[in-house]
Structure 1
């Protein structure tokens, strides 16, 4: 593992450096993975669950980026697929999309993109998931407030 959570993108003789945090890479990859057809949702963590309760969106959930002992970037993607999809095809599409997106945005290459299918989401469950996104505000304004 890397000693720090940043990757050096560029540096020059004058001492100027451009670094990127691994959490930024996780966000880039998670957004790209969610856009692939057949991906129903990304797996959350305790942190993303707490962020949801606090009203924050955790865009990097379901992706873990690390640096292996050879200083290569490795991405682990944890996602739920729609039922009825061809799992190997969707996984390959995710790998291609993530590789393309990270190269376009950072000029970095991922040595491994490991897809972990956490589960399948059926149509009735997907409707329930979509309903959770449309929940009411945490502290709705009441009519008594006059607003």
Structure 2
């Protein structure tokens, strides 16, 4: 079972320690990525999709991997994009939005946001349109 790692957020006053789990950071990153036009969804991969079907759970952090490296956050996003989008431009917008959102909400420093485009989603065509 995967260990749920907690990230410590520096606190200016001596009032205590704030810890944020990697799963929470993953949820924030996944939601921030999905805000960008052209992102069709996050991709958990084959194993993640099977796991979600077996357990019946839908995770908002699917397709997102969060790691800490020397106090910096590294986020890997596995996404599906809509056909016709300019992938490099869209990916840069995703990186910027995820970095800004995670840093604003958690106070952690995001070093890298890696975007992996794993599939392209084509628009559905109605059978009536095919006949014409």
TM-score normalised by L of structure 2? 0.81
Counterpart for residue 41 of structure 1: 41
Counterpart for residue 101 of structure 1: 101
Q: Give the length in aligned residue pairs.
A: 122
How is 1:56-71 mapped onto 2 (pairs within 5 angstroms)? 56-68=57-69, 70-71=70-71
For the 8 Å contact 1:83–1:120, the answer to whether it is kept is yes
Q: RCO higher in 1 or 2 (8 Å CA, sep ≥ 6)?
A: 2
For residues 19 and 110 of structure 2, the distance between their equivalents in structure 1, rounded to whole angstroms, comes to 16
Judged with a 3 Å threshold, the aligned counterparts in structure 2 of structure 1 residues 85 and 57 are, in CA distance, closer, same or farther, namely: same
4+ residue segments displaced more than 6 Å: none
Q: Decide which structure has the larger Cα Rg and report it.
A: 1
How is 1:58-137 mapped onto 2 (pairs within 5 angstroms)? 58-68=59-69, 70-124=70-124
For residue 114 of structure 1, report the CA deviation from its aligned partner. 0.6
Please list every run of 5 or more consecutive structure 1 residues that lacks an aligned counterpart in the other structure: 128-147
TM-score normalised by L of structure 1? 0.73
Please list every run of 5 or more consecutive structure 2 residues that lacks an aligned counterpart in the other structure: 127-132
For the 8 Å contact 2:43–2:62, the answer to whether it is kept is yes
Counterpart for residue 129 of structure 2: none
